[in-house]
Amino acid sequence: MLANIGVTGLAVMGANLARNFARSGYTVAIHNRSVEKTDALLEAHGDEGSFVRTESLEQLVSSLEKPRRVLIMVKAGAPVDSVIDQLVPLLDEGDIVIDAGNSHFDDTRRREASLAEKGLHFVGVGVSGGEEGALLGPSIMPGGSRESYDALGPMLEKISAKYDGEPCCRWVGTDGAGHFVKMVHNGIEYADMQVIGEAFDLLRHAAGIEPCEQAAIFEEWNRTELSSYLIEITAEVLAQVDSKTGKPLVDVIVDSAGQKGTGRWTVISALELGSPVSGIAESVFARGLSSQRDQRAVAQGVLAAGTEDLGQLPADFVEDVRQALFASKLVSYAQGLDMLSSAAGHYNWDLKLDEIASLWRAGCIIRARLLDEIMKAYDGGEAPKNLLFAPTFSRVIADAVPAWRRVVSTAVRLGIPVPVFASSLSYYDGLRRDRLPAALTQGLRDYFGAHTYQRVGIEGTFHTLWSGDKTEIEAVDTH
Ligand code: NDP
């Protein structure tokens, strides 16, 4: 019997995706560079469904029905190219190669173009949900050609997470769109985790609330509009007591956050697009600063605090922090979605923000009640230019903004770093501002570099003769 799909790369993610396909009723041909992983999977889970054991890519390909679907789940980077190079000569026109790893979207664009020349489909698929999601139902963001989705989509939809019975899997756009959307999802995830960390730090060091008591607060917050997977697991992590020391686990974990790169990619890509994802960027930088442990150790002895004794915290400080957390989180989503809009224009993708929000409602790490509202904000009628302009959210944020300002100013006066709370508030204020000091920036650029400027209310491009008699002349547009 020919298999419906082949999976090569059977480490944690590949093995769990293969099992998910098999448990969903598909026959799955499995392959791994070293055969031990293939046998280990069959030994432990071979009875979960219909698997075809293969020892080589040749065997894998010849065991598949047509059009062949081969899903690659190997280490991102050069190994993906190496597997593609081995696969291509074995495939026929119309076959589909799927990369479901965390590949950079530029690599996916390159690979898609190269395989298209050979008559093959290459589909970059963003998968979120970690190990458990891969097995039980991840959020899936497929790119590649629309045509390839017809042959592949139903299978991916079947193994995906479901929200109210709807699959969290939809074709998002051509070539690298799927991996791009997954990358931005991860950027938002960085910001989401950082704002939770900032709230934790404020509750601990401004309000003196111990982690185990905070666990109850986060549990409570999880019953509000903040309801989300990350808030839910924050309560669990904060409640955990270290068996060796009896201290809260969070107090014995080294405070240096790791990163695998997708947050950094999001920021690099945002810089290239000119997209202001300040909350995501600050959360990546916050991880970087946390990792500079040598400098932090020196700083404690040489950098003055200059903090104030506030005497008393604002009344209902805990609720203020909750609102600041929600407002900052909302800004991160707004920035991420705005970045998707910029990318859609730049890469010629027809990204539908309501559909993308709908994919993130279950299965993935940033799943949250908020996403249902976000989906509705973009669904039907004229889409708002920025998520914050949707009436639901402009109202919510208007209610939260006084608390948000109190929290940021309290943090600043106490010397507690709140990079995402503060930068999100600055983004919000920057958006609202009638006139920005960018006018002065333009004046300075014209002074030292003759970069020219535009005038309010008069068409044209101008330059002031700064080193001459300072008269203004009409200049050739250098924009
Ligand atoms: P790893 O990233 O650890 O990769 C290990 C697998 O890659 C093994 O099957 C290994 O084979 C294979 N491999 C490595 N180099 C080559 C090569 N040159 N040729 C052929 N095969 C090779 O596995 P994961 O399961 O953790 O992740 C797979 C992908 O999924 C990655 O892109 C990852 O970023 C992404 N991802 C991971 C998530 C997670 O939670 N872990 C979540 C979402 C995505 P061998 O056994 O022979 O060494």
Rounded CA-CA distance 115/387 in Å is 37
Residues forming the annotated binding site for substrate? 102, 128-130, 185-186, 190, 260, 287, 445, 451
> Which residues are catalytically annotated?
182, 189
Q: Where are the domains of the chain?
A: 5-171, 182-432, 437-474
pLDDT digits (tens, 9 = 90+) for 86-142: 999 999 999 999 999 999 999 999 999 999 999 999 999 999 999 999 999 999 999
Rounded CA-CA distance 214/200 in Å is 8
Total Cβ atoms within 10 A of residue 376: 14
Atom of ligand 1 nearest to the CA of 78: 18
Helix (H) or strand (E) holding 117, with range, is: helix 105-117
Pocket test for ligand 1, best of 56, 74, 80 (most atoms within 8 A of CB): 74
Q: The tokens of 477 are what? A: 């547009």
* Three-state DSSP state, 219: helix
What is the CA(134)–ligand 1 centre distance, in A?
13
Rounded CA-CA distance 36/41 in Å is 9
pLDDT at 478: 54
State how far Cα 313 lies from the chain centre: 34
Fold of 437-474: 1.20.5
Q: What is the CATH number of domain 5-171?
A: 3.40.50.720
Pocket of ligand 1 (CB under 6 A): 9-14, 32-34, 37, 73-76, 79, 82-83, 101-102, 127, 130-131
pLDDT at 382: 84
pLDDT grade, residue 477 (50/70/90)? Answer: low
pLDDT digits (tens, 9 = 90+) for 359-410: 999 999 999 999 999 999 998 778 899 999 999 999 999 999 999 999 999 9
Strand order in the sheet with 453-455: 453-455, 458-464, 472-474
What is the CA(9)–ligand 1 centre distance, in A?
6
Say whether domain 182-432 belongs to CATH 1.10.1040.10: yes
Q: Are 43 and 65 in contact (CB under 8 A)?
A: no
Rounded CA-CA distance 426/335 in Å is 13
More confident residue, 308 or 24: 24
pLDDT at 310: 87
Residue 225 to residues 215, 242, 251, 317, 402, Cα–Cα distance (Å): 17, 31, 28, 18, 18
Total Cβ atoms within 10 A of residue 335: 28
Q: At what angle do helices 262-273 and 177-205 cross, to 10 degrees?
A: 110
pLDDT digits (tens, 9 = 90+) for 214-244: 999 999 999 999 999 999 999 999 999 999 9
What is the CA(283)–ligand 1 centre distance, in A?
26
pLDDT grade, residue 309 (50/70/90)? Answer: confident
Residue nearest to atom 20 of ligand 1 (CA): 33
pTM of the complete model: 0.96
Mean pLDDT of 416-429: 98
Residue type, 304: A
Q: Are 143 and 173 in contact (CB under 8 A)?
A: yes
Rounded CA-CA distance 99/105 in Å is 11
